[in-house]
Protein backbone atom coordinates (compact mmCIF):
# COMPACT_ATOMS: atom_id res chain seq x y z
CA UNK A 1 0.00 0.00 0.00
CA UNK A 2 1.37 3.37 -1.02
CA UNK A 3 1.18 6.36 1.35
CA UNK A 4 -0.60 9.27 -0.28
CA UNK A 5 0.69 12.79 -0.13
CA UNK A 6 -1.51 15.24 1.76
CA UNK A 7 -3.52 17.55 -0.48
CA UNK A 8 -1.58 20.51 -1.81
CA UNK A 9 -2.29 23.88 -0.19
CA UNK A 10 -4.46 26.23 -2.18
CA UNK A 11 -2.94 28.83 -4.42
CA UNK A 12 -3.73 31.52 -1.86
CA UNK A 13 -2.20 29.47 0.95
CA UNK A 14 1.04 28.88 -1.01
CA UNK A 15 1.34 32.58 -1.83
CA UNK A 16 0.59 33.52 1.77
CA UNK A 17 3.12 31.02 3.07
CA UNK A 18 5.81 32.45 0.78
CA UNK A 19 4.92 36.03 1.71
CA UNK A 20 4.98 35.12 5.40
CA UNK A 21 8.47 33.68 5.08
CA UNK A 22 9.69 36.78 3.27
CA UNK A 23 8.12 39.16 5.77
CA UNK A 24 9.15 37.23 8.87
CA UNK A 25 12.62 36.06 7.90
CA UNK A 26 13.62 37.90 4.74
CA UNK A 27 16.11 40.66 4.13
CA UNK A 28 15.39 43.05 1.25
CA UNK A 29 18.54 44.70 -0.03
CA UNK A 30 21.35 44.14 -2.44
CA UNK A 31 25.07 44.06 -2.93
CA UNK A 32 25.38 47.51 -4.53
CA UNK A 33 25.18 46.07 -8.04
CA UNK A 34 21.96 44.06 -7.96
CA UNK A 35 18.95 43.65 -5.67
CA UNK A 36 18.44 40.51 -3.64
CA UNK A 37 16.11 38.96 -1.13
CA UNK A 38 17.86 36.75 1.40
CA UNK A 39 16.64 34.22 3.96
CA UNK A 40 19.02 32.75 6.49
CA UNK A 41 17.76 30.00 8.79
CA UNK A 42 18.95 26.98 10.75
CA UNK A 43 19.82 23.70 9.03
CA UNK A 44 16.67 22.09 10.44
CA UNK A 45 14.71 24.10 7.85
CA UNK A 46 16.35 22.39 4.87
CA UNK A 47 13.05 20.98 3.56
CA UNK A 48 11.61 24.48 3.57
CA UNK A 49 14.60 25.77 1.62
CA UNK A 50 14.18 22.98 -0.96
CA UNK A 51 10.55 24.08 -1.37
CA UNK A 52 11.70 27.67 -1.88
CA UNK A 53 14.00 26.53 -4.69
CA UNK A 54 11.03 24.98 -6.52
CA UNK A 55 8.67 27.83 -5.62
CA UNK A 56 11.06 30.47 -6.95
CA UNK A 57 12.87 29.06 -10.00
CA UNK A 58 16.24 30.71 -10.43
CA UNK A 59 16.77 31.28 -6.71
CA UNK A 60 19.84 29.77 -5.07
CA UNK A 61 20.63 27.93 -1.85
CA UNK A 62 24.03 28.31 -0.21
CA UNK A 63 25.50 26.32 2.61
CA UNK A 64 25.31 24.67 4.93
CA UNK A 65 27.44 27.10 6.88
CA UNK A 66 28.87 26.56 10.36
CA UNK A 67 29.96 29.92 11.70
CA UNK A 68 29.92 31.63 15.07
CA UNK A 69 28.16 28.73 16.76
CA UNK A 70 25.38 28.77 14.16
CA UNK A 71 24.51 26.14 11.56
CA UNK A 72 22.49 27.62 8.72
CA UNK A 73 21.56 27.80 5.06
CA UNK A 74 21.22 30.99 3.09
CA UNK A 75 18.67 31.31 0.26
CA UNK A 76 18.89 34.16 -2.25
CA UNK A 77 16.68 35.47 -4.98
CA UNK A 78 18.33 37.83 -7.46
CA UNK A 79 17.98 38.89 -11.06
CA UNK A 80 15.09 37.70 -13.16
CA UNK A 81 13.43 35.56 -10.47
CA UNK A 82 13.38 38.53 -8.12
CA UNK A 83 12.13 41.04 -10.69
CA UNK A 84 9.71 38.77 -12.54
CA UNK A 85 8.37 36.59 -9.73
CA UNK A 86 8.88 38.01 -6.26
CA UNK A 87 8.52 41.76 -6.77
CA UNK A 88 5.08 41.43 -8.44
CA UNK A 89 3.94 39.02 -5.71
CA UNK A 90 5.04 41.31 -2.89
CA UNK A 91 3.75 44.45 -4.62
CA UNK A 92 0.32 42.88 -5.19
CA UNK A 93 0.03 42.27 -1.44
CA UNK A 94 1.97 45.29 -0.19
CA UNK A 95 -0.97 46.42 1.94
CA UNK A 96 -0.38 43.35 4.15
CA UNK A 97 3.25 44.26 4.92
CA UNK A 98 4.24 45.90 8.19
CA UNK A 99 5.85 49.34 7.95
CA UNK A 100 9.41 48.05 8.43
CA UNK A 101 9.15 45.39 5.72
CA UNK A 102 7.33 47.73 3.32
CA UNK A 103 10.05 50.32 3.83
CA UNK A 104 12.84 47.81 3.11
CA UNK A 105 10.99 46.53 0.03
CA UNK A 106 10.39 50.08 -1.25
CA UNK A 107 14.02 51.07 -0.59
CA UNK A 108 15.29 48.02 -2.50
CA UNK A 109 13.02 48.82 -5.45
CA UNK A 110 14.02 52.48 -5.48
CA UNK A 111 17.76 51.86 -5.10
CA UNK A 112 17.84 49.32 -7.93
CA UNK A 113 15.30 50.94 -10.27
CA UNK A 114 12.63 48.26 -9.96
CA UNK A 115 9.04 49.20 -10.70
CA UNK A 116 6.91 47.37 -8.11
CA UNK A 117 3.86 47.85 -10.33
CA UNK A 118 5.34 45.88 -13.23
CA UNK A 119 3.82 42.45 -13.73
CA UNK A 120 0.79 42.79 -11.48
CA UNK A 121 -1.43 39.78 -11.05
CA UNK A 122 -0.54 38.33 -7.70
CA UNK A 123 2.80 36.79 -8.52
CA UNK A 124 3.80 33.17 -8.93
CA UNK A 125 1.89 30.20 -7.63
CA UNK A 126 4.37 28.31 -5.45
CA UNK A 127 4.10 24.52 -5.38
CA UNK A 128 2.95 22.66 -2.31
CA UNK A 129 5.53 22.01 0.38
CA UNK A 130 6.57 18.36 0.03
CA UNK A 131 5.61 15.98 2.81
CA UNK A 132 8.22 15.14 5.44
CA UNK A 133 10.12 11.90 4.96
- Sorted by where each starts, the structural domains of the chain and their CATH numbers stand as 11-111 (3.10.28.10)
- SS3 label, residue 98: coil
Residue 61: phi and psi, rounded to 5, are -115, 130
Mean pLDDT of the chain: 84
CA distances from 107 to 11, 30, 129, 133 (A): 28, 10, 30, 40
Widest CA span in the chain: 55
Question: How confident is the model over 121-130, as pLDDT tens digits?
Answer: 455 555 554 5
Residue 35 binned pLDDT confidence (cut-offs 50, 70, 90): very high
Question: How confident is the model over 47-67, as pLDDT tens digits?
Answer: 999 999 988 999 999 999 998
Q: Are 52 and 21 in contact (CB under 8 A)?
A: yes
Amino acid sequence: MQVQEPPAPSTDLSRGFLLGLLVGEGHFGGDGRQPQITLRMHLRHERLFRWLLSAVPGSRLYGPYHHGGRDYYQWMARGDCLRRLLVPLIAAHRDLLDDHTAGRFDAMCERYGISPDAGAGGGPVPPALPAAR
